[in-house]
Amino acid sequence: MKKVTRKGALLLLAVIMLLSLALAACGNNNEVAKETASPAASPTGTAEGDAEVKEELPFVNLTWIMRAAEEADTKLVIAEMNKVFKEKINAEVDIKFIDPGSYNDKVRTMIAANENYDVVMIGSGIGDFYGSQSKGAFLPITDLVKEYAPGTYATIPEAFWGAVTVKGDIYAVPNYQIVARNNGFKVQKLMAEKYNFDITKMTKMADLEPFLAAIKENEPASAVPVLNYKLGMFNDALTHYGLEQIGGFDTPGVISIDGTDHKVFNQFESPQFLEHINLMRDWYNKGYIPRDAGTLTEIQPLLKTGNVMSSYSNKAPGDEAASLSLVPVEYLFQPLDTPYVTTGNIAATLQAVNRNSKNPERAMMMIELMNTDVELYNLMTFGIEDKHYKKVGDKKIELIANAGYYPNKAWAFGNQFNAYLLPGQPDDVWEQTIALNSSAKASRILGFIFDQEPVKAEIAQSKSVVDEFAPSLWTGSVDPEKYMPEFIEKLKLAGAEIIIAEKQKQLDAWLATR
């Protein structure tokens, strides 16, 4: 592959991490090593450097697959972005927005069919990064990221790169954002007050029952007591249930978060899973969960109606303001777990380069711009100034209501710490987020990456089984007593026990080196 030269095209960012997250966090290591960083990077390039890029680089077209719903002005925003891409890296990017609810299936199909694209937004639980990597879907970018995205490489902590490094090679660029997952329920504040529901007393999911019953009994039929949809809540609630996924989500094999042993077991046969799906079934039968939850893929339109009374969600500093900007309804949040960092959390949202990309160097330059060009990143995040938002300060904005563009996906596009601040977000919201990442409890196996290659056939078969049963079981749409025996039997026939044994073998070998 002939590499494109970029003499002086990009400036190395001034801010480099002084300390980074520790990968070998097991045993007594309960905290991620503290790091310091400036959350906002400077736009890349200079007039002289950009001119040189334009002279040296031939024009190319790139395709970027993105997990976000297309809106009225999406194409208009992409056109504005392409003015920047054309000027700085002489490229035009076809950004294909795909609805989040159908994204996993479409991306898996796209990868399996070897469709043409250059960059895909993917993650440990989005499109199955680790499984796709094991099948050879992505280009190793160890050298490319250092040469063509030096600012990005310098800004992102070492542990983030460790989460996307397989057998010594980097296979994706992490979106630098919150990784200390803190999950729980949020409920509409006015409704909680109306029905005298004290959300702070919640310690488990079932504690939401009195609120849901009050909504169902007293509010109009348009009110949704609790939101659930095709992807369910269980994967997001693993920490709450004391479980940690190994490898891609929905593959058999987890360990307990606490304890001293590292026994791998099938989460779908665990008491926690049975507790969860039985609760969902109870809620579904009582009319708390939408009747079409098992087939519901796109939830943003429903959320924007303001009719969702409660939902399971994760929490990060400044989230309340971001939520109000999307839906003018105030919510209360109650965590049901504590902030926790896993390898899967770090790899939650990534950008990976197609192994068959004809222009991997330019694809990496595009990723660099999305992580270091503050104006470009915010253009994709919030739209066009004075059309979709107004500046009210150097780094503060107010969204214009019903303006035709607000994907609410700042964490999906690049370095979220470059995002403008919304009304209500404190000036130091990104510093707070970095501090939370640093202080959160770390997984006992932080840094362990499961190699799916030895059991990729069994994983493919088990995923097919999970895809068949998950939407109905996760949402309570079917009776667990009737369908669980068949689900477990099919998982075993697909090779669940072989997968678990391989996870245990690799984990034991990794632990022996710590």
pTM: 0.79
* Distance, CA of 68 to CA of 100 (rounded, Å): 6
The pLDDT of residue 319 is 76
Tell whether the model's pLDDT for residue 14 goes beyond 70.
Answer: no
- Left, alpha or beta for 136 (phi > 0: left; psi -120 to 50: alpha)? left
The pLDDT of residue 110 is 95
Neighbours of 493 (CB within 10 A): 11
Residue in this structure with the two tokens 């791998």, named with its chain if needed: 264
Band of residue 55 on the pLDDT scale cut at 50, 70, 90: low
Tell whether the model's pLDDT for residue 450 goes beyond 70.
Answer: yes
Tens of pLDDT, residue by residue over 79-103, are 999 999 999 999 999 999 999 888 9
For residue 510, what are its two tokens?
A: 């990794």
The pLDDT of residue 237 is 94
* Distance, CA of 348 to CA of 213 (rounded, Å): 34
**What's the average model confidence in pLDDT over 49-74?**
83
The pLDDT of residue 374 is 97
* Distance, CA of 439 to CA of 340 (rounded, Å): 9
The pLDDT of residue 181 is 72
CATH code of the domain occupying 47-179+344-442: 3.40.190.10
For residue 275, what are its two tokens?
A: 């507790």
The pLDDT of residue 2 is 40
* Distance, CA of 276 to CA of 475 (rounded, Å): 10
Tens of pLDDT, residue by residue over 210-232, are 999 999 999 999 999 999 999 89
Band of residue 320 on the pLDDT scale cut at 50, 70, 90: confident
The pLDDT of residue 34 is 36
Domain ranges for the chain: 47-179+344-442
Tens of pLDDT, residue by residue over 454-480, are 999 999 999 999 999 999 999 999 999
Tell whether the model's pLDDT for residue 191 goes beyond 90.
Answer: yes
**What's the average model confidence in pLDDT over 317-343?**
83
Tens of pLDDT, residue by residue over 118-149, are 999 999 989 989 989 988 999 999 999 999 99
The pLDDT of residue 161 is 95
* Distance, CA of 431 to CA of 394 (rounded, Å): 17
Task: Show the DSSP H helices in 11-99 as ranges.
Answer: 47-56, 74-89
The pLDDT of residue 376 is 98
- Tell me how far apart the terminal alpha carbons of the chain are, to the nearest angstrom: 38
Tell whether the model's pLDDT for residue 341 goes beyond 80.
Answer: yes
For residue 508, what are its two tokens?
A: 């034991």
Band of residue 288 on the pLDDT scale cut at 50, 70, 90: very high
Torsions phi, psi for 449 (to 5 deg)? -120, 125
* Distance, CA of 439 to CA of 203 (rounded, Å): 22
Pick 1 or 418 by higher pLDDT: 418
